[in-house]
Amino acid sequence: MAAIRVALVNDYEVVVRGLEAMLRTYVDRIQVVELDASRDVARSVDIAMYDTFAGQQGDREEIRQLISNPRVSKVVVYSWNLQPDLVRGALHNGAAGYLSKSLPAGELVAALEAVHVGDEQVVPHDPHPGKVITGDWPGREEGLTPREAEVLALITQGLNNQEIADRTRLSINSVKTYIRGAYRRIGVTTRTNAVLWGVEHGFHPDRARMRPRE
């Protein structure tokens, strides 16, 4: 059987590197062909792994968009956050599975294969139940609210305020409000320094991405 082609959408360097390392020994079964945080999936893939950012509302819409993408066969959510209502919501919106980031490599590969061949929705049980609820998203320790962390992450990806507003479906005024709050908490006053803070705290997506092998 040919290897399953997987894209990782919307994630941070920490995760990207981890996934890359985890799947390196399974290249014959899984190929991560695209890693990109800022753009859509460009080449056709069997499964798109979507990283929901701290379970924001905007995710629902993004998941739907991914599913309607003709280049994507199936979409799974790949997240730390396993709260039941989030899982239900994602599956209800058409996700083919909901995979925990705490899954070891073997189980992750198995789950992806199950998603690929089967019609059932795949939700492996959490190997560390109740363990990863805290430390949910980068910046939690600094007291960033989920929204603040989200806009910070988007800033670290190089978006301007209007683009952030579009992406999050917020008004630009709200975006500014969150940015102000985030700056106060992380102790910066300029966007430049916010970006640097983000880079140093794992918000930086892998832009120098893996070159896909055809």
Q: Which span (11-19, 41-49, 67-75, 176-184) binds DNA, by CB under 7 A?
A: 176-184
Using the minimum distance from each CB to DNA, give the nearer residue, 102 or 174: 174
Question: Is the distance from CB of 9 to CB of 66 less than 8 angstroms?
Answer: yes
**CA–CA separation, 164 and 111 (whole Å):** 33
Return the closest-CA partner of residue 155 out of 135, 175, 125, 128.
Answer: 175
Q: What single DSSP character describes residue 10?
A: S
Site string for DNA, 110-149 (x = CB under 7 A): ---------------------------------x-xxxx-
Rule CB under 7 A: choose which of 2, 28, 125, 190 binds DNA.
Answer: 190
Q: Which is nearer to DNA, 96 or 152 (CB)?
A: 152
CB of 36 to DNA, least distance (A): 21
Which class for 197: exposed (0-12), middle (13-18), buried (19 or more C-beta within 10 A)?
Answer: buried
Minimum distance from residue 187 beta carbon to a copy of itself (Å): 12
Q: Which option in DNA, a copy of itself, none does residue 145 bind, with CB closer than 5 to 8 A by kind? A: DNA
CA pseudo-torsion sign 18, 21, 23, 27 = positive
Structure tokens that stand for 175 in this block: 């975006």
Q: Under rule CB under 7 A, which residues in 27-86 are in contact with DNA? A: 57
User: Taking the CB of residue 134, how many other CB atoms lie within 10 A of it?
Assistant: 9
List contacts with DNA (CB under 7 A).
57, 143, 145-148, 160-162, 170-174, 176-180, 183, 189-192, 194
